[in-house]
A and B are shown apart, each in its own frame.
Chain A
Amino acid sequence: DTAVSQTPKYLVTQMGNDKSIKCEQNLGHDTMYWYKQDSKKFLKIMFSYNNKELIINETVPNRFSPKSPDKAHLNLHINSLELGDSAVYFCASSASYQETQYFGPGTRLLVL
């Protein structure tokens, strides 16, 4: 039973398109995150949500809009995709911000 799942696993799209990535966790956690891993494997936090409320927005362009319909889901919508958005996006969750984070398998986004 997958703890943190993401869909889709791969996403290939054209510049200028709008796309969404979905994340679900079945761990009963209160806190969820989005991280971006660039082509050099560097991982950086994008957003952090606690009980459906945005806690961190780490200087991410406003083309990126997270949405948390409930505590188990945190989706990421990206408008007007750019070449530089190509990366692997990881969702993670934790019981609270103090607890261990568990990561999903990642969504590999390629913008052409």
Chain B
Amino acid sequence: AQSVTQLGSHVSVSEGALVLLRCNYSSSVPPYLFWYVQYPNQGLQLLLKYTSAATLVKGINGFEAEFKKSETSFHLTKPSAHMSDAAEYFCAVRGFQKLVFGTGTRLLVSP
């Protein structure tokens, strides 16, 4: 069965600093991986996805993620945090007819 683990329930950065949100996966088949963002009191918005093409995936709002099979990781990064990036971020792996989500990481951005 597929699963993902997100390290760190909260990550705090200063505006302009590098953002790094960690996600490790477990999958018995080549995984399809996703990052979603949830702003307060809103639904989930797709940031980016990995579907076995390029290992470096670029998404919206300046985010990108790199698939590393040897490390079973799919970490999300952004070179320079903006106040508007403050949100909950979810890593997910595709299972059969469903997405399996991690527990989420809340990103806090301070001025």
Contacts and interface: CB of A to CB of B under 8 A. Distances in A.
Interface of A: 4, 31, 33, 35, 40-45, 48, 50, 55-56, 58, 90, 92, 97-98, 100-106, 108
B43 A103 contact: yes
A91 B45 CA distance: 13
Interface of B: 32, 34, 36, 38, 41-46, 49, 88, 90, 94, 96-101, 103-104
A44 B3 CA distance: 12
Given A31-B97, A41-B38, 6 more contacts: A35-B99, A40-B103, A41-B88, A44-B101, A97-B96, A100-B46
Contact of A41 (B46, B99, B103): B103
Contacts of B99: 35, 43, 45, 101
Main secondary structure of the interface of A (DSSP, over half): strand
8 contacts: A42-B103, A43-B90, A48-B97, A56-B97, A58-B98, A100-B34, A106-B42, A108-B41
Contacts of A58: 98
A6 to B, nearest CB: 8
Contacts of A102: 46
A41 to B, nearest CB: 5
Contact of A103 (B44, B98, B100): B44
Contact of B97 (A40, A55, A106, A108): A55
Nearest to B42: A105
Nearest to B90: A43
B33 to A, nearest CB: 12
